[in-house]
Amino acid sequence: MTRTNQIKPITIRDLARMAGVSVATISRVLNNQQGVSEKTRTRIKQLIEETNFKPSEKARNFFRGDTKTIGLVIPRPDEYVFSNPFYLDILRGAVEASSKVKYNLLLVTSEKDSFTFLFHEQHVDGVIIISYPKNDYVIMKLIEEELPFVLLSSLISNQPFNQIDIDDFAAAKKVIEYLISLGHKRIAFIGCPIKVASGYYRLEGYRQALANNGISFNENLVTTSEIPLSNVGAESVERILKGNPDTTAFFAFNDLVAIGAIGALREKGYMPGKDISVVGFDDIFSSKYTYPPLTTVRQSGYDKGWLAVERLLEVINGDREKKRIILETSLIIRDTCHKVN
């Protein structure tokens, strides 16, 4: 019996790889949709003609919105994401907003800049990126491939993107000004992840508040961590008090770090709110149940997740405007701060 070698038909994925774009971009061209530059559209049409590509009806319909799936990317380690109630609040808001419009949500956690596989392999219509590192490479890649996305954090650059964010600089500055108003001058900032924009801006707010009040910045009163969990708060207290025993206040990057600091201070015989002050950030559910209850900065993770989905769907549906939505924060004063004589 004689076998005839048949040439395998080119697929929409093959075409996307050849063109160096996403499957979504190929589908927009096939369906004559907006959201593709003329230069890219012309290049893809030429490639379609050269390869004699014949899209199936399935391929034509693939990215007309029938996938009904949004990617939610958190480029942080799993141990941090699933140990942090604030991220779970964001996820809850995003899930409920997606479900309301009958969209699915695909969650991806990754420390690497390789999550663009979502668009080529997992068939999502767009993506929400949380706590993005201060590195514009992936963002530029998403723009190059003309893929819809919304950021749930700031970037260090001033380029306009669709963002849902808070003013981390102003929130941190307000915390330090509050502590200074209580008489504190030796204020530590602990657990700061300097590779993400929120950490960068909170550190800058901390420094600016000190400078505005004539207090010199001391790098020995700052600890950094890319996985700011409770153990980081405990370790930071140990390190800072050993080298700087006259420290009177700790400002933590988040509530988890603050909770760890409170535990370590109590083990050392200090009573937060009487002997030493502690302030957190996020106002997670458990912060009001620490002993004593934690003074912290409140931001709504739920609102961030919900609004990110709403904005992304607007972008997917053709809204070309770049919007940066800044949500309010508030300083919630409880019992972990005291006046210094």
- Tens-place pLDDT, residues 61-99: 554 545 788 989 888 888 889 999 999 999 999 999 999
Q: How many whole angstroms separate alpha carbon 11 and alpha carbon 86? A: 41
Mean pLDDT of the chain: 87
Mean pLDDT of the 202-212 span = 98
pLDDT score at 109: 83
Q: How many whole angstroms separate alpha carbon 53 and alpha carbon 45? A: 10
Q: Is the confidence at residue 120, as pLDDT, over 70?
A: no
Band of the pLDDT at 12, cuts 50, 70, 90? confident
Helix (H) or strand (E) holding 258: helix 255-267
Q: How many whole angstroms separate alpha carbon 287 and alpha carbon 297? A: 10
Q: Is the confidence at residue 105, as pLDDT, over 60?
A: yes
- Mean pLDDT lowest among 139-148, 199-208, 211-220, 242-251: 139-148
Q: What is the DSSP string of 107-170?
A: EEE-SSS-TTHHHHHS--SEEEEES-BS--HHHHHHHHTT--EEEES--SS-----EEEE-HHH
Joined tokens for residue 90: 């964001």
More confident residue, 245 or 28: 245
Q: Is the confidence at residue 253, as pLDDT, over 60?
A: yes
Q: What is the DSSP string of 216-230?
A: ---GGGEEE-SS--H
Closest Cα partner for 126 from 318, 268, 289? Answer: 318
Band of the pLDDT at 172, cuts 50, 70, 90? very high
Q: Report pTM.
A: 0.82
Q: How many whole angstroms separate alpha carbon 137 and alpha carbon 140? A: 5
Q: How many whole angstroms separate alpha carbon 339 and alpha carbon 331? A: 17
Q: Which residue has the tokens 């970037």?
A: 155
Q: Is the confidence at residue 308, as pLDDT, over 60?
A: yes
Domains of the chain as residue ranges with CATH: 12-61 (1.10.260.40), 69-166+301-327 (3.40.50.2300), 168-299 (3.40.50.2300)
